[in-house]
Structure 1
Amino acid sequence: MDKWKEIKERLAHLHGSVELLADGHKLSLIKVHDGKKIFVRVYVDGCVDFAWTKTEDGKPVHAQGQFWRPMKRAAYPKKHYAALKRGWGKKEADRMITPRVIAVVPDFGTEGAVVAHLKKHFPDLDIKADEVAS
């Protein structure tokens, strides 16, 4: 079976999980909920450290941040475009409403989203072999 399909299948149900090995790090993907939303959280080497969310020029500062979802936001919403254009000019207004990566976060909305991110950036990752109890 394709490893990407297997990852999706293991994360199909609530509290489904899978452990992966990528770039010398152990990733734990777990489908969780916070009472309102269901999402997939990525743990790197068994933890989530929110110091890893920092970015510079759209790239994560810490190596562990590369496994997380880039969060994009614009400085101003598009509904303010007309006022920004009058005040700052078209070129600057376009820059102000263009979304940029401001952080990376450990949560993905669906298992398909996390698989697409990992497939794009880490095509050679391995699924960790399950240990059999003796």
Structure 2
Amino acid sequence: MDKWKDIKERLNHLHGSVELLADGHTLSMIKVHDGKKIFVRVYVDGCVDFKWTKTEDGKPVHAQGRFWRPLKRAAYPKKAYPSLKRIYGKKEADRMVAPRVIGVVPDFGTEGAAVSHLKRHFPDLEIKADGVAS
């Protein structure tokens, strides 16, 4: 079975988990809920430290932040574009409503999104031998 499908399978139900090895770090992915929504949280080496959320020029400052989801936001909403264009001009208005990475967060909306991120950035990761689905 493909390792990516295996990871998705293990995260398919609530509180499903899987442990992975990537770039010398142990990743623990657990499907959790906060009462309103269900998401996949990624723990790096067993913890989540929110100082890892910082970015510079769209890249995480700390190495552990590479495993998390980039959070993109625009300075202004798209509905403000016409007035921004009149005030600042087209080029500056385009820059102001374009989303850019402002940080990284340890939560992914679905297991597919988490697997897609890891597949794109860490194609050589391994499933930890003792990581069993809960």
TM-score, normalized by length of structure 2? 0.97
C-alpha separation between the residues in 2 aligned to 1:131 and 1:4?
14
Deviation at 1:131, TM superposition (A): 7.1
> What does residue 61 of structure 1 align with?
61
Q: How does 1:119-130 map to 2 (within 5 A)?
A: 119-130=119-130
Structure 1 unmatched runs, 5+: none
Deviation at 1:130, TM superposition (A): 1.4
Give aligned pairs, total.
132
CA RMSD of aligned residues (A): 1.1
Deviation at 1:126, TM superposition (A): 0.3
> What does residue 72 of structure 1 align with?
72
Structure 1 outlier segments of 4+, above 2 Å: none
Identity %: 85
Contact 2:69 2:117 in 1 (8 A): yes
Deviations 1:10-65 (A, max 9, x none): 00000000000000000000000000000000000000000000000000000000
Structure 2 unmatched runs, 5+: none
SS across alignment from 1:84: helix
C-alpha separation between the residues in 1 aligned to 2:122 and 2:56?
21
Contact 2:71 2:104 in 1 (8 A): yes
SS across alignment from 1:91: helix
TM-score, normalized by length of structure 1? 0.97
Deviations 1:37-94 (A, max 9, x none): 0000000000000000000000000000000000000000000001101111100000
